[in-house]
Chain A
Amino acid sequence: MTDDERFEQFLREGAADYEAPRGDVPREEMWNAICAQRIAPATSPVLARTTMRRWTWIGMAATLLLGVGIGRYVYRSQPTPAPAVIAATLSPTSPSDNPPATPLDAPKPVVPESPSAPVSTTPSSTNGAYAVASARHLQAVQVLLTSYSTETVDTHSDSLVAAWARGLLTNTRLLLDSPAARDPQRARLLQDLEVILVQLVQRSPGALAADRSDVERTMEKTQIIPRLRSALPTGLPSGTD
């Protein structure tokens, strides 16, 4: 046996247990998570739980609002019959009269009352389908983050938040790998969302106040909630009332 062959044998034997998983593969848990992600990607997996808690109702309400909002958005986006009708019904505060849209990468501390230009969400665009999917996803993330910021925290809600965030994190990553991320502003928003969702997922139940403040610090630093509001198309309910 040559020296190289002995070294290769040493590598195979020495590395046989390199980062090997301990115990059995968690097949059923992963399968359940896969099913949950595919069936209800924008809602908390706690829908499968028998105990209905506050976060579950928030998730269900968010889903209902999303369905209504998307329906209204699609309806409003249908082509209108005649330009004359449009001109006759234009609001005095048409977009051309409003201040320039706030760019997503330079959010102001105070969210302007006039709606900001949405990020590439015209249904007539070739990315219309991805735009709608993005809007739906951003809406769900906004509900999670706004609820996280305002709700009382306990160990159980921490677990639910982590589970909810995990599903949203998967979709965020899928959108980052999709044509939805071709828009630079949307891509930056999704990247910042990914950071925050990872922080939420990695927080253990009953996390220390320091851990919670880390998430809040990141949310504040990235101005994520105002940016989410700006990124959502006009016509969608805020979902935070």
Chain B
Amino acid sequence: MTDTDLIAGLRNGDPRAERLLYDRHVDRVYRLAHRMTGDETLARDFTQDTFVRAFSRIVDFRGDAALATWLQAIAVNVILNGLRKVRRIHSREVGVDELPDTPVTRREAEPDLKHRLRAAIAALPDGYRMVFVMHDVEGFTHEEIAASLGIQPGTSKAQLSRARGKLREALSDFAGEWAS
């Protein structure tokens, strides 16, 4: 089924079209949500929210972007907003001073480079981490990232560059090890 037929089916509320959209994109949406949250429950919630919103907003889809890109933009929005709300909820329960800046991660020095890399990625601000995960981990192009985030491809490249710079700074103790 082409995207045009799929969109027509979705607008008509065709269950087969909805399931087809879901099957085509759920893996990628779920993987991105899981990588951003590190939590299976949140990843499921955000994935479900993404598709619920997509099905309810398909009438607003203007066709000026690919259907996959439009869906991905919804997913990114759900994930980023969801992460902010999770932190706000945690701040009420835990107290601002105890609030971790990132998903749970070990912050003490780790001798292992890979563990330090993991912690450094988790410590990135959400926006930088999203661009880094989408590009370097999930393989999205800058055009896809830009369309998802509502920015220009050049801005996506700049943010990726800054994210990598922050990671390099965080791993400065291991400078040169990645060269070996």
Which A residues form the contact surface with B (CB < 8 A)?
A: 3, 6-12, 14-16, 18-22, 25-27, 29-31, 33-34, 37-38, 166, 169-170, 173-174, 177, 191, 194-195, 198, 201-202
Contact = CB atoms under 8 A, between A and B. Distances in A.
Interface string B43-60: 111011101110110000
Contact of A11 (B23, B48, B167): B167
Contact of B89 (A7, A31, A194): A194
A3 B176 CA distance: 8
Nearest to B135: A12
Contacts of A194: 85, 89
Contacts of A34: 22, 48, 51-52, 55
Contacts, number: 101
B178 A30 contact: no
Interface stretch (B3-11, B34-42, B61-69, B143-151): B34-42
B113 A14 contact: yes
Of A9, A10, A20, most B-chain CB atoms within 10 Å? A10
A195 B48 contact: no
28 contacts: A7-B168, A8-B136, A9-B178, A11-B117, A15-B118, A15-B121, A15-B132, A15-B136, A15-B137, A18-B35, A18-B118, A18-B137, A19-B38, A19-B103, A20-B31, A20-B34, A20-B35, A21-B40, A25-B30, A26-B30, A27-B22, A27-B26, A30-B26, A33-B44, A38-B56, A194-B89, A195-B92, A195-B93
5 tightest Cβ-Cβ pairs between the two chains A and B: A10-B178, A21-B34, A19-B38, A19-B35, A14-B117
A174 B37 CA distance: 20
A191 B137 CA distance: 33
A194 B136 CA distance: 34
A3 B179 contact: yes
B92 A6 contact: no
Contacts of A30: 26, 30, 44, 47-48, 51
A202 B113 CA distance: 33
B173 interface: no
A30 B136 CA distance: 27
Contact of A6 (B30, B89, B179): B179
A21 B23 CA distance: 17
B157 interface: no
Contacts of B43: 21
Contacts of B92: 195
A7 B178 contact: yes
A166 to B, nearest CB: 8
Nearest to B139: A12
Contacts of A25: 26-27, 30-31
Given A7-B178, A34-B48, A14 B22 contact: no
B137 A16 contact: yes
B85 A15 contact: no
